[in-house]
Amino acid sequence: MEKFEKLTGVAAPMPLVNIDTDMIIPKNFLKTIKRSGLGVHAFAEMRYDDNGNENPDFVLNKPQYREAQILVAGDNFGCGSSREHAPWALADFGIKVVISTSFADIFFNNCFKNGMLPIVLPQEQVDLLMKDSEKGSNARVTVDLEAQEITTSEGEVIKFDVDSFKKHCLLEGLDDIGLTLEKATAIDSFEAQASQARPWV
Please provide the CATH number assigned to the domain covering 6-173.
3.20.19.10
Q: What is the pLDDT of residue 201?
A: 66
Q: What is the pLDDT of residue 30?
A: 83
Residue 7 bridge partners (DSSP): 143
**Contact (CB, 8 A) for 50 and 129:** no
Give me the amino acid identity at 98.
Answer: V
Q: What is the pLDDT of residue 82?
A: 81
CA distances from 56 to 52, 53, 64, 134 (A): 12, 9, 12, 16
Q: Which of 182, 148, 149 is nearest to 166 (CA)?
A: 148
Q: What is the pLDDT of residue 168?
A: 95
Q: What is the pLDDT of residue 195?
A: 73
Which positions of the chain have pLDDT values less than 50? none
Q: CA 96 to CA 83: how far, in whole Å? A: 18
CA distances from 2 to 61, 112, 152, 156, 162 (A): 26, 11, 24, 28, 18
Q: CA 46 to CA 164: how far, in whole Å? A: 35
Q: What is the pLDDT of residue 43?
A: 97
Q: What is the pLDDT of residue 37?
A: 87
